[in-house]
Structures are given as C-alpha cells and as structure tokens.
Structure 1
Amino acid sequence: MKRTIKKVAVLGSGVMGSRIACHFAGTGVSVLLLDIVPKEAAASDKPSERNKIVNEALQAAIKSSPSPVYHNNVIKNIKTGNFDDNLKDIAGCDWVIEVVVERLDIKRQLYERIEPLRTPGTLITTNTSGIPIHMLAEGRSDDFKRNFCGTHFFNPPRYLRLLEIIPAAGTDPAVIDFLMEYGDLHLGKTTVLAKDTPAFIANRIGVFGIMSIFNSMEKLGLTIDEVDALTGPLIGRPKSATFRTADVVGIDTLVNVAKGVAANCPDDEAKAVFAIPGWLEQMVNNKWLGDKTGQGFFKKTKGAGGEKEIHVLDLKTLEYGPRSKPKFATVETAKPIEDLKQRLKALVAGQDKAAEFLRHFHYALFSYISHRVPEISDAPYRIDDAMMAGFGWEIGAFESWDVLGVAKTTDAMKAAGYTVAPWVEEMLAAGNDRFYKIAGGQRLYYDPNKKTYEGTEGAAEQPTPFIVLSNYKDKIIWKNSNAYVYDIGDGVAALQWNTKMNTMGGEVLEAINKAVGIAEERFKGLVIANEGANFSAGANVGMIFMYAVEQEYDELDMAIRLFQSTMMRVRYSSVPVVVAPHGLTLGGGCELNLHADKICSSAETYIGLVELGVGLIPGGGGTKEFALRAADELHNEEPDTNTLKNRFLTIATAKVATSAHEAYEMGIFRKGHDEIVMNPARRIAESKRSVLQMHDSGYTTPLQRKDIKVLGRSALGALYAGINGMWRANYATDHDALVARKLAYVMCGGDLSEPTFVSEQYLLDLEREAFLSLAGERKTLERLQSVLKTGKPVRN
C-alpha cells in the first residue's frame, strides 16, 4: 500500500513525547499530542483542567533551550488532548507513536485501548529505549502486529539525528522500508535498522563505552576531569565527553541500561564490564542523578564572591571540589594536529598514562563492536552510523579501527589480552585489511556474511545516493593547500575547503574563482559545499586584524575588493552555482549564499551577517545585497521604509537564524526559490540535482543590476534617529552607534538628496569604504583581538 503521513498521534507528552511532537510539527505534519487526565480533574468537564498535563508539558518544551522547533509558527500544527476524551481521534491519524513511561504493563494497557480505535493499516510504533519489541506486541491482532515496530528517537529529537527502526517478528517488511525512507527524507534522520536486542544499537555500544571507561580509569588512577579531557573533542567526541554526558542523560538511566544489558545478555562476553561500581550505586542512592537533580558528577555552586562555579566529584571520597585542567605530554603533542585521523594515531602512539588509557579505551571498544556483529546488526556500518548520529561521534568505531590499522591494532589487542570476533580474523586472513574502502565515489563496507565489500549509500534502507565529497579523492581536478574542486559526475563540479571552522581567506577565495572558471569551461554547473560541523564561520578575522593593526590599508583594500569580486563572480557566472550550507554559516559564508543562484540548505543551518559584533559592516557584498533586496521589496508609488528598516536591523543586531526556516523570515533565503533539505547528508545530492535542472532549463547569466532604488536622506534620517534612540537608552555603546550609522549610510545609498537609482558597484564601493574606515577604529581592533583570543567580541 502507498502511505502518506498527514497526521500523527503522539501518546505521552513527557520530555521525549512533547519534543517528538514538535519535530513532526516542524516538518509540516498535523500532530495530536495526548496524555493522561490529572487525578484532580477526573470529575471536571473543563478541557483546560483535563488537558493540564499535556498543555504544560508542551509549553515547557517550547520554552526549552535549544528550541525543539524550527520556528514558533509550527506550534499551530499541534492539537492537545487527553487519553479519556481524545483517544478516539487516533482513527484519523496515519501514524500513532507511543511514548509513555517505560513499563511493559502500562504500554500494553494503552495498546489494548488503541486496538479498537485505530484504523486498520495505521502505523503504530513505540519509542521504547529498552523493552523488547516482541514483548510489547504480544496479544495484539495480526493487523496491529504487521504495522507495529520500534521507532527509537534520541533526545533532543530535532538535533540528534539517529532514528533506530526495530522490527518485531511479525512486522511487515514494507512497513520497515517505508519508515527507513520516511525518517531519512522527511524527518532528516540517519535511519538505522536495528535488531530487537537489549538497548538496540546505540545505547548498547554507548553504555558499554562509558562502563568500560569507569573500569579503565580506576585501574589507571585517573580523575573525572582527566577522563573528560581525553574522551571529548580530542578524539572526535562531543564536548560533554563521558561524565558530562552521563549527567545530561541521567545517571539512573545509565545504571538501568547497564543493569538491563547484564541481566538480559547472558552470552555477552563483556558482561562483567556492566557491573555497577560501588561509588555509582551510592550516587544513585544519594539521588545524585545529574542535571535532573542538580548534581551528579558535576555540581554548580557559588564561589566566595557569589560567582557561579562548577565543582567535580572525587570518586574516592564522594566529595565535590574545584575542577582542574589536566596536562599530558601526549595530548600537548597531538592537540595541535587539525586532522582527527592523524591526531588519533599520535595519541595512541604516546608513552604516558593518557596514551595508555586511550589504547585500552579503543581496544575494549573494538573488541566489543566486533562481537556485536551479527548479534545487534549484520552490517558494521550500521553500528558506526548509530554512534555518530546518536552520540555525536565524529567518526565511527570501525572507521577508527581502520585509521589505526586493523591488522596492526588487532595484534596489539591480542597482546594486551583483548579478543576479536572470528569474522574479523577471517577478513584479515582473506587479505581484506579494512572495514571500509572507497570506489567510484561510494563508500563500501565489509560484509561478514558475503565476505566481500558492499555499498552503504544506495543500500535498501537508503534508496537515494548520498554524495560525500571526501569520497571523490580520485576525482580531484584542481586543488590548493586548503581547497579541492571535484568532478562529481553528470557534468557537475563541486568545491569544498578545509580550514579551521572553514573560514574564508585568500586561498579559499582563489579556489572559488578557480572553481567557477573550471565549471564555466568544462561543466554544466558548480556545487559549493563543505563537510565537517559547519559550512563557514566567515572571513579570516586574523587576516583582517593583521592588516588593520599594521595599518596596511592598501592590502586590506585589495583583500576586500577580492572578496567582493569573488562574490560577484559567483553571482554572474555563466553556469548555475548552488551552495549547500549547514551548521554555522556566518559573515562571509552568508554572503556567499546570498550571491548563489540557489541555496539547498540543511534544516539545521544557523546563518547571518554578524560583522557588526566585531565593529565592522558586511564587506563582501552582504550590505549591498540587503540594500538591493530591500529596494526590490519597496512599493514604487509610496515607498514603505519599514522594509529597509527591517533589513537594516537584521544586520545591525547581528541576528543569526536559528534554523533554515527562520532564514526565510530574515530574507536571507528566498521563498519559492531556495530549498531546505531535512537530511543534511542529502544536501549535496540535492544541489547537484538543482544544478542539472537549471542547466537543462536553459540557464542564462543574470544581468548586473543598475536599477537599485536607494532612498538617501529621506530614509537616512529615520535610521539615524532610531540609532540615537538605542544609544540614549543604553542599548548601544558609542561604538555600536558609530558602526550602525556607517551601515545605514551604505544601505541608504549615501547622503543623497532624493531617491536615486544606483548600480551594484556603487553600493559595493560605499560598503568597502565604510569597512576600511571602521577597520582603522581602535575599538574595532579591540573587538577583533578579543575574538581571536577568546572567540567572543568584547563589548566596548
């Protein structure tokens, strides 16, 4: 049957249920969110009283940070109710998701009530994180069982991309195929097929990793601060590392999962690792459960001066004390290495206690994941995908094993007393020395069942190929030390660069110009995209500061001209240029998007022109482009200056969109033109499709604009008055006001006596002159220096 999801019922409005409802609403689906009636309202006939629990839960979710919704307008897609009055309404839903308390009896009782009310064929899934799916389905009708499975979202659902799909024995395979595709395309998830085993994939491996660390740290005498320093971004894991992650997840949750695995996995060769240490049991008894109780491994306190401090637990004494900054020789040597894979090699090769810990950390993990195939998954890549999407790992465990050398590391593991699964030994004996390899732009994984390499992209659960630029190393057609231009097939070129935070300096601008030139000569069009956490944090602030502090204004002027001309090269190329942003897309990164023919953005794109924060105005065409767009939105007969004012305020307040959806409201993305791609892994493939579509439709180079209507003094006075009001009310410093006046001057086209039509170059010249004058201001230099030292501008 062909399924269409128009309405979803979410049963249970707790932390997970309310946020799952918000995520579905954000995709445009109508949501029915239900929960129990409060005991005190059992006799009431007032919906406000009977729906108190669900309404308060939804409001708490909406107010939480980070926000569970892409923009607040989507809340209208959610209707609330209760199980007694509104459960009958699930008859009109296409998918019912159960997210009630983790108790088998309560879930079964709810299913008993759902069975006669749901329309036959309706999807019914559970978000359980530990209860076996087959046990939940017991006693249900055949139709219920065919359409029932586990859909395990991770919290927070908007941001953590993992969605584990867990079939039961009676689940229709077509249901699984549908959910795998729907989660990927419409929910933006990495959908991972998991088996119905305790804790499924991500929690099974994740909790083992944490429990294994508990064992190793005791043997090596390491502290909490030392372990978190070694198991965070240093090795490609989130900043929360190990112990901060445990506090966020909940120490009681961690203990329950560990106990569940130990009790329900009698054949697990590492079952002893899941034994709960005495100090951890004591923490649970003390209700030191992490963030939910205000203290766990860390505790917020107030110092002598009243300032907030974070203290850390000493596991030997169970007393809290000040945090320390660990220092290890191996870490000091490896930390400056930008490339994670090279950094891992350096860390494991060290000779101190940190290196010893990291060796055993990886050996234990590699041993464990090898033995979990085929128990929890037939395919190794699914384990890696689950850990990257669910726990925020930068690379997967099998990929890390590849980096360190499978054969070499396996020998070292055996020498240290660790075992590997027989299939790994067979793989190596057959001359296959890697779990992954790249062929024709596609990543292949070793399949232990077929004893050969199979494709991950384009597999059954991922029907549309994903384009990963780093898989096209054999298709590089031009490069410099920071950037690469690839041939990604079908007559489309692609550019990416690899700098710190993907900032844009001279070599990146050279690469953009070169990529456009190559595309014009040999290709149908160009895709610009980056991998890693962010698209681009903007222009190279260090370069700007160096030129400005040395008063090299001619050099700075040339650099700004190059940036502007590069953006215009993108805008007026003879082939379509599509940009695929994701994550932070700030300053110059935003300006590049503003000048593209089309944007295919990840839903999680945080984009904006932030130069005012460092005492500058957008100097790469961003100010010009906002003035141009404001002019296009003005009414010809009686110009409404609110359009210009809103554009001005967006830049003047350094506003950053908190999602791609909000970028439409800010006027950065164009409604009906630019595109949001829910799954960031698909944005490059979608960009390529857009390039081909524009080319096949007969793309023509746009004409440079000379008809931009600027309002001059008539608008400038109003903007100056507003700036002065903000300054008098102490919302803006003297320097903020100075920068804002420069911005207003450019956006109004200068001190013109009447509205005038001007060219893009006219506005670019004003923009560049204002940028140069501000770069010579002492307070701007102070802000730039602060960003370079601390990552944040000083308020002066």
Structure 2
Amino acid sequence: MKRIIKKVAVLGSGVMGSRIACHFAGAGIPVLLLDIAAEGRDRNKIVNDALTAAAKSNPSPLYTPDIVKRITTGNFDDHLKDINGCDWVIEVVVERLDIKRQLFDKVEQFRKPGSLITSNTSGIPIHLMAEGRSEDFKKHFCGTHFFNPPRYLRLLEIIPTKETGKEVVDFLMEYGDLILGKTTVLCKDTPAFIANRIGVYSIMSIFRLVDQLDLTIDEVEALTGPLIGRPKSATFRTADVVGIDTLVKVANGVYDNCPDDEARQIFKIPEWLNKITANNWLGDKTGQGFFKKVKTDKGSEILTLDLKSFEYKPRVKPQFASVEAAKPVEDLASRIGLLIAGKDKAADFLRQFHYSLFSYISHRIPEISDELYRVDDAMKAGFGWEIGAFETWDLLGVAKTTEAIKAAGHSVAPWIEEMIAAGHPSFYKIEKGKTLFYDIISKTYLPVPGGGAFIILKNYSDQLVWKNSSCKLYNIGDDVLALQWNTKMGTIGGDVLSGIQTAIEKAEKDFKGLVIANDGANFSAGANIGMIFMLAVEQEYDELDFAIRAFQNAMMRVRYSSIPVVVAPHGLALGGGCELSLHSDKICAAAETYTGLVELGVGVIPGGGGSKEFALRAADEMHAGEPENITLQNRFLTIATAKVATSAYEAFNLGIYRKGLDEVVMNQDRRVAEAKRSVIDLYDGGYTMPVQRTDIKVLGRSALGALLAGIHAMEQGQYATEHDAKVARKLAYVMCGGDLSEPTLVSEQYLLNLEREAFLSLCGERKTLERLQSVIKTGKPIRN
C-alpha cells in the first residue's frame, strides 16, 4: 500500500515543535500544532504565542511568511481527538519519559490505525517509549530526531525499534529525503544516536585538550572552524548556540549509559565546565556562556571567557606559524595535510584531536551503525562539517595515519587493521561517478544507497571533458555535460566566463545540453570584485569595458544557445550568480538558495544583463488596464534596495524565478540530478534556440520622472545616501530605456549597451571604489 501524508500533527509547540511544524508547512503539508491548554478564556494561548514567536524569529523557520497559514493550532484537552485525521503524529514534548508515556496513552485513544507515530527525542531510548503500547502502535512507532533549527540543519536521524515495521522505516528514510529535503540517517537505538554521540565526543575531547595544551578559547575557535572544514561557530560558539546545559546533559547521558565505551572518561565534565553551568552561563539562552556581548562606546563587542580567571576579556586573534602557512591553500585536503604536518602547538593540537577522533569512530562501528558512511553523513548534515571524519582519515592516508594514531597512544578497532591487511587502502572509493564505502560485514566495497539520485560532480573526474585553471567540465552521462568552478565563494571572473562559453560550444556539438552547478558551499557570490576594483583604480576603462562585454556575452550565450542550459544554484547566488540564473532555460534551485541582484550595495548597477533582464520582464508583465509603470517600479525597487530572497520560494515572489518553469529542490543533494533530468526533458521535448528580443517596450520619460521623484524622496528622508541615489538614478535611466520622449520598442542589445555604459561610469566614482575596497577587505560594503 502506498503511504500518503496529507496532514501531520505536531504535539508540543516549544522551540523544536513549532519549528518542525513550520518546516512541514514549508514542504507543503498542512499541520495541526497542539500544546497544553492555557488557563483562562484563550485555551490556545500557549501554542499560538509559540507559533507567533517562531514566525518572528531570525533566521526564519518559514520559507515565505504566508506558509504559516498551513498550520492550525489547538490544545491537548480540546483538540487531541483531531489527530484522527492526521497521517503522521510527531511528539515533541519535554524530554521526560513519564510525560511522553502519559501523552502516548492519550494518543492511542485517538490516532487512526496505520498512521505513523514518532518521537523527536534526542536522548531517551526509543524502545522505552514503545513499551506497553499496542501492536499497531509499535509497528508504526519510530524515533525521528530533527536537529535545531530544522529548516537549516539537514540531518534527520531515523531510529527504529525491533518492532518498527520495515515499510515504516523505508518510508521515513525516503520521505525525509525527498519531501523534507533531509539527509536521512538510519541509527541504532543507542545513547545519543549517531550525530550527538560523535559530535559531543568531539567537543568534549577538545575541552580535554584545552587543559592539556594550555589553550585559550580564541585559539581553539581559530583552529576548529572553517580552517579544517567546520562551521564558523567552531567549538565553543557551537556550545553557546546549542546550550551549554544541553551539551552537559548529552555528555552525562553517554557517561552514565555507556559503561563499555573505551573513551568514557572523555565525557566526564571538567571542573571549569561545572562552574560555568553552576553560574547559569548557558550560552545564548542566558545571554552569556563562553562568549558575552557587551555594549561599549564604539557599539557592541564580543568578549571571550578566560577559563582561568573566569573573567570576560576582549578577543585576541591567535598567531600560529602552521596556520599562516596553510590559510592560503584553498583545497581542504591539502590544507589539513599541511596543518597536521606542522611543528607548533596548533599542529600538535590538531594531530591529537584528529587521532583521538579517528580512534573513537573506529570503535563505534558497528555499535552505533553497521555502515561507516552513516557516521560521516550525520556529522556533515547535523554539525555542518564539510567532510566527515572517515573522509578526513582517507585524505590523510588510512594506513599511515593508523600508525600515527597508535604511536600517539590511541587504539583502533580490529576491523581497521583487517581492512588494511586485506589491501583495502581507503574507506571510500569512486567508480563510474558513484561513491562506494568499505562494508565491514562483507569486507568489500558497496555503493552508498540512493547514490543514483545524487550527482556529485567531483566524482566524475574520470569523465573530465575540459578544464582550465578555475573550471572543470564533466560528462555526467546520458549525453549531458556539467560545468563547475572552484573559485573563492564561487566568484565569476575571466576563466569562468571562458568556461561557460567553452562548455556551451562543446555541448552544442556533441551533447543534449548543459548543467551549471557547484559542489562547494555556495553557487556564486557574484562577479570578481577584486578584478573590477583593480581595473577601476588603475583607470583601465578599455579593459573594464572588455570585461563587462565578456560577462554580458557569456550570459547571452547561456540564453541563446542551441541546447538547453539549466542552472542548479544553492547557498549564495548573488549578483553575477543571479544574472546567470536569470538567463538560463530553467533553474533547479535548492530550497536554501539566497539570491538577488545586490550590486547597488557596492555602488554599481547589475552589469551582466541583470538590469536588462528585469526591464525585459517588466515589459512582459505589463497588463492592459493597469498603469504601465507599476510593474517597472516594482522591478526597479527590487534592484535598487538590493533585495535578496531568503529562500528559493521567495525568489519567485521577487520575480527572479519564473512560476511554472523554474523549480525548487528540497534536498540540496538532488539538485544536479534534477537539473540533468530537466536538460533531457527540454531536449527530448524538441528544444529550439530562442530568438533575441527586439520588441521590449521601454517607457522613457513617462516612467523615468516617477522613478527619479521616488529616489529624491528616499534621499530626502535619509533612507538613501547621496551615492545610493546617484546609483539608483543610473539604474532608473537604464530600465526606462533612457531619456526617450515616448514609449518605444527596443532590443536586448540596446539595453545591454545602456547597462554597460552606466556600470562603467559608476566605476569611476570615488565612493564606488571605497565600497568595492571595503568588500575586498572586510567582506561588507560601507554605506557612504
């Protein structure tokens, strides 16, 4: 029987419950959100207040504000009976077994037979909650552990009991992946499951090294963040965000419930950590933890806790020779290798940390998972690690590192020695674009399940068609090419533009079409600002004009090629990255895509066809009987205020993505495969090359006057600086088609010429140069 989820009930509206409800609503599922009844006339006050707070929180749990309309609220006393109309009931109440059991007693009275019932517990054994329940309840009961915040952290741990039906487990694994966009990881019912077991061990082992190596919090943060492929929150900041009390609770849980864990003592709480919790310095929830934000004469400042004096002091940027040598290295594998091989205290710390972590994960197979890839998947999706621990071990060389681990006084599990002795050199290998993992049961390599639905571009290195210093073009099968580049933040410079042109040329000769995507953290943060700044400062305007023409030509080549070009953005897709999307035949965007034309912030207008494209779309959206300039004004304001869509869904509202054509892919890992499928569908559907437009209606002076008046009002009201206004006036001129006396039909090239001339003139402005320089130095533009 095919299971369909038409409605979900979420029991408990706290931080997790309300946000899980928001995520299901974002996936298009109606939700019934319940909590305890409040005293007084408004019995739904508790749940309504919780949902209102969630909707207003930042970052938002909602893809767009109107999604909250899919959530109906109620209370346990009056509305628990309504779960009879739900296909899945998720319990998210307080972490106490007795309270959960009491709630399940009531749930059994009302849930319809065959409906799913799951718990979002992060620590209570799943089988204990199922004890004493009916046969149907047990068969359909499972742990579904979302990580907070559920919209942004991609991990969903699925924890069945022995009584859970296989059909239920298979359904939850697939549904979490396809509909909820999660990395679904099958876990055993062991303390802390997978991610928290490994993640908290990682943090606690770092705490131990702080004492052993006399390290400061600032030093550890510098060594355990993006430098080694971990989030910016690194270690101590992560603890503050999660809650230091939560961290301590999980650590104590492992210590108490895992007597046979060979590293059990690592989970013992250090004296200084007990003192922090006794002081109620629990992190963000109490306003201070390992860090504290204070107000000063210069604004706000982040102070760091000195673990010896227990005083908060100004942050100190640490200096390590090994780190300075490794920082410029873009490739993570090479960078970690350099760091581990260093000779200073930082290198010593990173060696000890990694060797103890490798030892620990080896002993957790098969205790917490039979398959090693699940450990890596959980850490990447739940803790934001760029690469998993087994993947890192592979990068450093399994056999060589195993000897170093033992020399450092740690042990490895026997299966590691057996694997090496049998001549298997790594935990993973790539064959025909698919990832295989070493399976300790069969002692062979097996494909990672579901790999056919995911296309990881770097796995196609043996299918490389062409490359230059920034780009690689792969044959990803079925006569489809895929282009990616490896520049910092995915920025687009001359090499990338050349790569786009070459990729289309090769696709037109021998393939059905082209996918443009990136494996990195972001699709593209836009054009290469550094190159623009250098040419502008040196007043190389002919070179700058050539560079802008090259960008425009590449975008128009994307639009007017004889094969379909599908773009698959994720993360940041700003400026030039947005313009590339605007000119594609179709966009297959990850739900978490943040896109917009943000050039006004750095003192220029979109110069790669973005201004032209918005003017073109405004013309196409004008309707008879409506003031013609209203649509143009809306389009103008989107660029003039540098609006960025906070999700792919919001990009439709901003007119960047096209309703009925572009699509959102909930699971980021599936976007390239979906883009490939779209290329094939477009080609097989009889794709024909579009014809360049010469019929774009621009409004000239009739709209220009209104836009200029609006800009003047914004400047007078101090909503825009003098330079903001100057840039906005240039944009208005371009989008109106210039100072034309009446509405006129023009070509795309006409608008591109206006756009390029405006961009060039603004690059000669001192304040634009100041903004560009600020972005290069600090990552943020100044408001001058």
Same fold (TM over 0.5): yes
Q: Which residue of 1 aligns with 2:267?
A: 274
Aligned to 2:2: 2
Cα shift at 1:266 = 1.2
Q: Which residue of 2 aligns with 1:196?
A: 189
SS in 2 for 1:326: coil
Q: How many residues are treated as equivalent by the alignment?
A: 784
Q: Is the 8 A contact 1:526 1:691 kept in 2?
A: yes
Shift of 1:463: 7.2
Q: Following superposition of structure 1 onto structure 2, how do residues 193-592 of structure 1 map, counting pairs within 5 Å?
A: 193-303=186-296, 305=297, 307-456=299-448, 459=449, 462=450, 464-592=452-580
Counterpart secondary structure, 1:110: helix
Letter in 1 for 2:421: A
Paired position in structure 2 for 1:683: 671
Q: Which amino acid aligns with 1:153?
A: F
| 1:259-298 deviation per Cα after TM superposition (whole angstroms, max 9, x unaligned) | 1111111111111111111111121111111111111111
Matched position secondary structure for 1:116: helix
Paired-residue identity, % = 73
The letter of the residue matching 1:668 is: I
**1: distance between equivalents of 2:621 and 2:182?**
36
- Give 1:672's aligned amino acid: G
2:22 is the counterpart of 1:22: yes
Q: 1:779, CA displacement in angstroms?
A: 1.1
Report the CA distance between 1:639 and its aligned residue: 4.5
Query: Is the CA contact (8 Å cut-off) linking 2:693 and 2:748 kept in structure 1?
Result: yes
Task: Tell me if structure 1 keeps the 8 A contact 2:435–2:451.
Answer: no
User: Which is worse superposed, 501-510 or 290-299?
Assistant: 290-299
Query: Which residue among 121, 124, 127 is the counterpart of 1:131?
Result: 124
Change beyond 3 A, Cα 1:523–1:623: same
TM-score (norm 2): 0.99
Quote the offset at 1:324 in angstroms.
1.1
For residue 318 of structure 1, report the CA deviation from its aligned partner: 2.2
Q: 1:744-789 CA distances to partner (integer Å, 9 max, x unpaired)? A: 1111111111111111111111111111111111111111111111
Instruction: State the distance in 1 between where 2:354 and 2:86 align.
Output: 46
Evaluate the alpha carbon distance shift between residue 116 and residue 560 of structure 1 in structure 2; reply closer, same or farther with a 3 A threshold.
same
Partner in structure 1 of residue 629 of structure 2: 641
Which residue matches 2:653?
665
Residues 716-763 of structure 1: CA deviation (Å, up to 9, x unaligned): 111111111111111111111111111011111111111111111111
Is the CA contact 1:181–1:463 (under 8 Å) kept in the aligned structure 2?
Answer: no
TM-score (norm 1): 0.98
Runs of 4+ in 1 over 3 A off after TM superposition: 636-639
Aligned mates of 1:756, 1:209 — CA distance in 2:
65
Distance 1:255 1:510, change over 3 A: same
Q: 1:9 aligns to what SS in structure 2? A: strand
Other-structure match for 2:742? 754
Say which SS state the counterpart of residue 453 (structure 2) adopts. coil
Structure 1 residue 301 displacement after superposition: 2.3
Report the residue type matching 1:360 in the other structure: Q
Partner-residue secondary structure (3-state), 2:687 = coil
> Which amino acid in the other structure matches residue 486 of structure 1?
Y
SS in 1 for 2:481: strand
RMSD value, Cα: 0.9
Pairing of 1:562-641 with structure 2 (within 5 A) = 562-636=550-624, 639-641=627-629
Contact 1:541 1:788 in 2 (8 A): yes
How far apart, CA to CA, are the structure 1 residues paired with 2:696 and 2:391?
A: 53
Q: Give the whole-Å Cα distance in 1 for the aligned partners of 2:729 and 2:235.
A: 48
Shift, 1:793, TM fit? 1.1
Letter in 2 for 1:696: D
For the pair 1:162 / 2:147, whether they are aligned, the reply is: no
One-letter amino acid of the structure 1 residue matched with residue 432 of structure 2? G
Deviation for aligned residue 1:326: 0.9
Residues 130-155 of structure 1: CA deviation (Å, up to 9, x unaligned): 00000000000000000000000000
Partner residue in 2 for 1:695: 683
Distance, in Å, in 2 between the alignment partners of 1:680 and 1:318 is 42
How big is the shift at 1:307? 3.0
Matches within 5 A, 1:110-189: 110-189=103-182
| Structure 1 pair 12–464 and aligned structure 2 pair: CA distance change class (3 A) | farther
How many Å separate the matches in 1 of 2:371 and 2:483?
A: 32
Confirm or deny: 8 A CA contact 2:434 2:452 kept in the other structure: no
Structure 1 residues without counterparts, runs of 5 or longer: none
Which whole-Å CA distance do the structure 1 matches of 2:121 and 2:502 have between them? 51
SS in 2 for 1:115: helix
Aligned mates of 1:247, 1:364 — CA distance in 2:
24
CA–CA distance in 2 between the matches of 1:650 and 1:488? Answer: 36
Contact 1:446 1:453 (C-alpha < 8 Å) held by counterparts: yes
Shift of 1:215: 1.0
Q: How does 1:35-74 map to 2 (within 5 A)?
A: 35-38=35-38, 41=39, 44=40, 46=41, 49-74=42-67
Mapped contact 1:602–1:660 kept (Cα < 8 A): yes
Q: Deviation of residue 638 (structure 1)?
A: 5.5
> Matched residues in 2 for 1:84 and 1:699: separation?
58
1:656-698 residue CA offsets vs partner (Å, 9 max, x unmatched): 1000000000000000100000001000000000000011111
Instruction: Give distance in 2, aligned partners of 1:699 and 1:291.
Output: 54
